[in-house]
């Protein structure tokens, strides 16, 4: 099976690009036809069934090797057809047991490789570690798990996140308010290079929609937990469509066929196979493929409880199982047979055909297969091939984001985000309704508050309520922020666009809505209460409320980027605002706030401090309160100084500080995302290095076992 590297590798310059090839009707033994597929048969001499035979057979597109060790730099996602070779050796993944009693092994001594032109299927019972293996290979393991072993991309240790590979996750993270057409079109504009004409991008998007069999639901809204839309299988296909738009060189898919009927599953995997035939490397975890689908895979990785039961050509698996006493019964699909043989969740024992039937516990069956595979010729071939592939250094992948330039990214993201905010009732419309109701309540409770002594306290309380409680209600939009952040995380990890473009677009698209929810309810409250007359006073009131809303929105976006959980995020956001509210100069007067901590820095950090001050100055300055017979009139200036203890600078300075805070928080939001991106791999690296030494002993023990 192992063939020499030189035999298999054809210089990349000789590689035909599958997408650039003439279109033709492809013959399909299953009776399915595609009219849009490039003639990859010209480029790849696949046999009648490409899945059969050597793992390397379809690998006629191997990458050009650079013997200097420096390597040519390119972005694999952008340069269509550039091959990526992936090898993984001695992989162990562990997680600390919850009860603190030790470590749990999620993957044990796993070895394998994937080369351009092949589609590798990772199979095994539920919970056996399929997603863990995919995450490990794609460099996306969570920081709670530790990994040892060597994963090389083109013979080099290099990161696979943020733009140099595509990963279709198990759950579909899509913008619920968009239609299928919009989701794929916007994604095409974000991912495909700016140099590509818009018409061509649309053509690519249309062809991909057609490939995924989504033409019938092209104008259907995707839908989510709030509104019903596409079915689960349709959402799956939209997700895959978005990820194959750029024809990525390395594509990971976690259960791409879940929720699909057998015909749809066949079409989808067949599309992936054709993609691979154009020189791409495809690795997919899959649950229960039908025989038709199973035959489309070039190689099979069978896992049980994190251990390799089999890795090799799909067609050789039957022989392996038969040789070990588990031949596939007639009329049973081989994939069903493999999974049933190694599933220990339901049946306790299996029959083994060894010159008469012997009963073995399923645990023993799995042990037998794992050991038999480890000592098999197939496993030796795999090791040799891994050694071949790791010996020479191939191309360096360039981490990077979208093919679209920054301005296109900002434009597309702004339009998309604006549409989402406009259509999602929970984003702003619901809040507008609640704010209007709240401001009518506020306005009627403080109706025509007047100029008496009692109005001094009443005006202060009313203004504080506006600054504190109305802005506090921004947490109502938190679920929508979290959804946005989930879409961003998924797209960002796949390198669809940059962090700056996202932050700028989000700021632009949300601004008109934030202004709306400030101005309309604000006006109702202002005129019902009959605050300081004059347009400039009213305008200042609305602008200050707007600035406060911007600050809170940015604060909540920051929280959503760190705590991507509805409940925890709302509690965190509410807690931060509660502390700011306390030190904002109303519940305790500025001079009475304990020093140093609650005054410096907390009260200076609290946006309520500047909002209250600005509101008070705007309202009290220039007014006189004098309706108590025999008592002297009190000027607004005296109230500001003695009653509310506000600082003497202009109200416009307060407004400027608030606007500055909104901008600063947006920068912090940007910085936090960037920091997360930088720190996450560093933590993982550090954890795997510290764990490497401590786990060496246990790894040796596990290998011996
Ligand atoms: N971060 C983690 N912390 C603790 N346990 C984990 C973690 N990630 C995975 N596991 C455990 O590892 C095992 C394998 O999980 P994984 O998701 O890889 O399985 P799977 O084969 O993809 O399952 P399914 O087919 O049901 O999706 C599971 O028992 C899971 O609970």
Domain count of the fold of the chain: 2
Instruction: Name which of 425, 525, 428 is nearest 469 in CA terms.
Output: 525
Binned at pLDDT 50, 70 and 90, residue 419 comes out as very high
Q: Whose CA is nearest to atom 24 of ligand 1?
A: 126
Binned at pLDDT 50, 70 and 90, residue 21 comes out as very low
| pLDDT at position 661 over 60 | yes
Let me know if residue 342 belongs to a domain. Answer: yes
Question: What own/partner pairs with CB < 8 Å and gap ≥ 24 does 683-687 have?
Answer: 683/143, 684/141, 684/143, 684/147, 687/143, 687/146
Binned at pLDDT 50, 70 and 90, residue 55 comes out as very low
More confident residue, 27 or 301: 301
Per residue in 650-659, pLDDT (tens digit) is 999 999 999 9
CB 126 less than 6 A from any atom of ligand 1: yes
Same domain, 390 and 460: no
| pLDDT at position 35 over 80 | no
Same domain, 391 and 422: no
| pLDDT at position 705 over 70 | no
- The rounded mean pLDDT for the chain is 82
Same domain, 635 and 530: yes
Q: Which of 362, 397, 432 is the last residue of a domain?
A: 397
- Start-end of H helices in 142-295: 180-191, 198-211, 232-244, 262-277, 291-294
Distances (CA, A) of 428 to 268, 475, 584, 612, 663: 38, 11, 26, 24, 21
Same domain, 275 and 305: yes
CB 97 less than 6 A from any atom of ligand 1: no
Strand 307-313 to strand 299-304: parallel, antiparallel, or no bridges (unpaired)? antiparallel
Q: What is the pLDDT of residue 393?
A: 75
Give the nearest ligand 1 atom to 142 CA.
Answer: 1
Angle between helices 535-562 and 607-620 (to 10 degrees): 170
Let me know if residue 623 belongs to a domain. Answer: yes
Binned at pLDDT 50, 70 and 90, residue 620 comes out as very high
Same domain, 422 and 387: no
Q: Which one of 122, 129, 258 would you pick to mutate in the ligand 1 pocket, going by the greatest count of ligand atoms within 8 A of its CB? A: 129
- DSSP letter (8 states) at residue 115: -
| pLDDT at position 227 over 80 | no
Same domain, 495 and 454: yes
Per residue in 560-583, pLDDT (tens digit) is 888 878 889 999 999 999 999 999
Other C-beta atoms lying within 10 Å of the C-beta of residue 477:
26
Q: What is the pLDDT of residue 86?
A: 92
Q: Which of 344, 366, 397 is the last residue of a domain?
A: 397
Q: Whose CA is nearest to atom 8 of ligand 1?
A: 132
| pLDDT at position 509 over 80 | yes
Let me know if residue 648 belongs to a domain. Answer: yes
CB 195 less than 6 A from any atom of ligand 1: no
Same domain, 381 and 265: yes
Contact by Cβ (8 Å): 85, 155: yes
CB 13 less than 6 A from any atom of ligand 1: no
Query: Worst-scoring range by mean pLDDT, 49-63, 122-136, 153-167, 455-469?
Result: 49-63
Other C-beta atoms lying within 10 Å of the C-beta of residue 197:
9
Same domain, 478 and 344: no
Tokens (6 digits) for 30? 């299953």
Residue with tokens 């991309």: 153
Give the nearest ligand 1 atom to 254 CA.
Answer: 22
Domain that holds residue 497: 406-679
CB 306 less than 6 A from any atom of ligand 1: no
Binned at pLDDT 50, 70 and 90, residue 194 comes out as confident
Let me know if residue 433 belongs to a domain. Answer: yes
Let me know if residue 377 belongs to a domain. Answer: yes
Let me know if residue 567 belongs to a domain. Answer: yes
Handedness of CA 611, 617, 619, 620 (dihedral sign): positive
Q: Whose CA is nearest to atom 18 of ligand 1?
A: 129
Let me know if residue 705 belongs to a domain. Answer: no
pLDDT (average), residues 507-532: 96
CB 128 less than 6 A from any atom of ligand 1: yes
Tokens (6 digits) for 222? 């995707």
Give dist(CA 551, CA 548) in Å, integer.
5
Cα atoms in the Cβ-side hemisphere of radius 13 Å centred on 142: 7
Tokens (6 digits) for 695? 């786990």
Query: Worst-scoring range by mean pLDDT, 32-41, 184-193, 613-622, 686-695?
Result: 32-41
Same domain, 287 and 393: yes
Binned at pLDDT 50, 70 and 90, residue 15 comes out as very low
| pLDDT at position 384 over 70 | yes
Residue 129 CA, ligand 1 centroid: distance in Å: 5
Binned at pLDDT 50, 70 and 90, residue 611 comes out as very high
Same domain, 674 and 656: yes
CB 106 less than 6 A from any atom of ligand 1: yes
| pLDDT at position 73 over 60 | no
Same domain, 347 and 444: no
Per residue in 437-472, pLDDT (tens digit) is 999 999 999 999 999 888 999 999 999 999 998 888
| pLDDT at position 39 over 60 | no
Same domain, 529 and 641: yes
User: DSSP letters along 127-148, please?
Assistant: TSSHHHHHHHHHT---TTEEEE
Whichever domain contains 293, its CATH number is 3.40.50.300
Let me know if residue 304 belongs to a domain. Answer: yes
CB 127 less than 6 A from any atom of ligand 1: yes
Q: Whose CA is nearest to atom 29 of ligand 1?
A: 127
Q: Which of 355, 375, 397 is the last residue of a domain?
A: 397
């Amino acid at each position: 099976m192992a063939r020499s590297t030189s035999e298999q590798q054809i210089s990349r310059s000789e590689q035909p690009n599958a997408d650039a090839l003439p279109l033709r009707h492809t013959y399909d033994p299953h009776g399915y036809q595609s009219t849009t597929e490039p003639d990859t048969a010209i480029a790849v001499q696949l046999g009648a069934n490409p899945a059969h035979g050597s793992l390397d057979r379809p690998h006629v597109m191997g990458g050009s090797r650079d013997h200097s060790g420096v390597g040519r730099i390119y972005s694999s996602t952008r340069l269509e057809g550039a091959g990526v070779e992936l090898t993984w050796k001695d992989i162990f993944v562990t997680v600390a047991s919850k009860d603190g009693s030790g470590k749990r092994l999620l993957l044990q001594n796993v070895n394998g490789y994937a080369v351009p032109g092949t589609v590798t299927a990772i199979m095994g019972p539920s919970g056996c570690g399929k997603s863990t293996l995919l995450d490990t290979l794609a460099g996306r393991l969570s920081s709670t798990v530790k990994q040892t072993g060597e994963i090389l991309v083109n013979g080099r240790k290099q990161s696979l996140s943020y733009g140099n590979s595509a990963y279709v996750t198990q759950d579909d993270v899509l913008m619920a308010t968009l239609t299928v057409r919009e989701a794929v079109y916007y994604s095409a504009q974000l991912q495909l290079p700016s140099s590509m004409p818009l018409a061509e991008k649309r053509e690519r998007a249309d062809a991909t929609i057609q490939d995924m069999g989504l033409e019938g639901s092209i104008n259907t809204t995707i839908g989510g937990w709030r509104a019903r839309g596409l079915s689960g299988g349709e959402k799956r296909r939209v997700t895959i469509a978005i990820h194959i738009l750029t024809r990525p060189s390395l594509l990971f898919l976690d259960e791409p066929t879940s929720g699909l009927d057998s015909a749809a599953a066949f079409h989808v995997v067949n599309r992936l196979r054709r993609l691979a035939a154009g020189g791409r490397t495809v690795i997919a975890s899959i649950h229960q493929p039908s025989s038709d689908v199973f035959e489309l895979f070039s190689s099979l990785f069978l896992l049980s409880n994190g251990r390799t039961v089999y890795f090799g050509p799909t067609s050789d698996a039957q022989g392996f199982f038969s040789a070990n006493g588990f031949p596939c019964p007639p009329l049973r699909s081989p994939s069903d047979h493999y999974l049933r043989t190694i599933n220990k969740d339901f049946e306790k024992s299996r029959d083994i055909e060894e010159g008469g039937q012997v009963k073995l516990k399923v645990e023993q069956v799995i042990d037998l297969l794992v050991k038999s595979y480890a000592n098999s010729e197939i496993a030796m071939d795999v090791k040799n091939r891994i050694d071949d592939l790791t010996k020479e250094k191939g191309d360096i992948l360039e981490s990077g984001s979208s093919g679209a330039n920054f301005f296109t990214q900002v434009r597309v993201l702004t339009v998309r985000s604006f549409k989402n905010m406009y259509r999602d009732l929970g984003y702003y419309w619901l809040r507008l309704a609640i704010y209007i109701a709240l401001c009518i309540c506020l306005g009627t409770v403080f109706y025509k508050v007047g100029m008496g002594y009692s109005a001094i306290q009443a005006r202060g309380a009313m203004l504080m309520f506006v600054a504190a409680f109305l802005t506090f209600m921004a947490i109502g939009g938190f679920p929508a922020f979290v959804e946005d952040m989930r879409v961003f995380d998924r797209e960002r990890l796949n390198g669809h666009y940059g962090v700056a473009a996202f932050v700028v677009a989000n700021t632009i698209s949300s601004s008109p809505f934030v202004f709306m929810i400030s101005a309309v309810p604000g006006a109702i409250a202002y005129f019902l209460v009959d605050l300081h007359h004059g347009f400039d006073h009213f305008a200042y009131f609305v602008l200050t409320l707007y600035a406060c809303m911007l600050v809170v929105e940015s604060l909540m976006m920051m929280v959503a980027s760190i705590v991507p959980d509805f409940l925890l995020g709302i509690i965190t956001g509410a807690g931060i605002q509660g502390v700011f509210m306390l030190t904002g100069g109303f519940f305790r007067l500025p001079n009475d706030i304990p020093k140093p901590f609650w005054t410096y820095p907390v009260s200076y950090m609290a946006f309520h401090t500047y909002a209250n001050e600005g509101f008070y100055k705007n309202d009290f300055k220039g007014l006189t309160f004098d309706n108590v017979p025999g008592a002297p009139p009190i000027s607004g200036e005296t109230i500001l100084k003695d009653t509310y203890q506000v600082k003497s600078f202009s109200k416009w300075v307060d407004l400027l500080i608030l606007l500055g805070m909104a901008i600063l928080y947006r920068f912090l939001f940007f910085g936090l995302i960037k920091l997360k991106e930088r720190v996450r791999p560093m933590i993982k690296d550090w954890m795997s290095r510290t764990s490497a030494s401590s786990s060496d002993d246990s790894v040796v023990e596990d290998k011996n076992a």
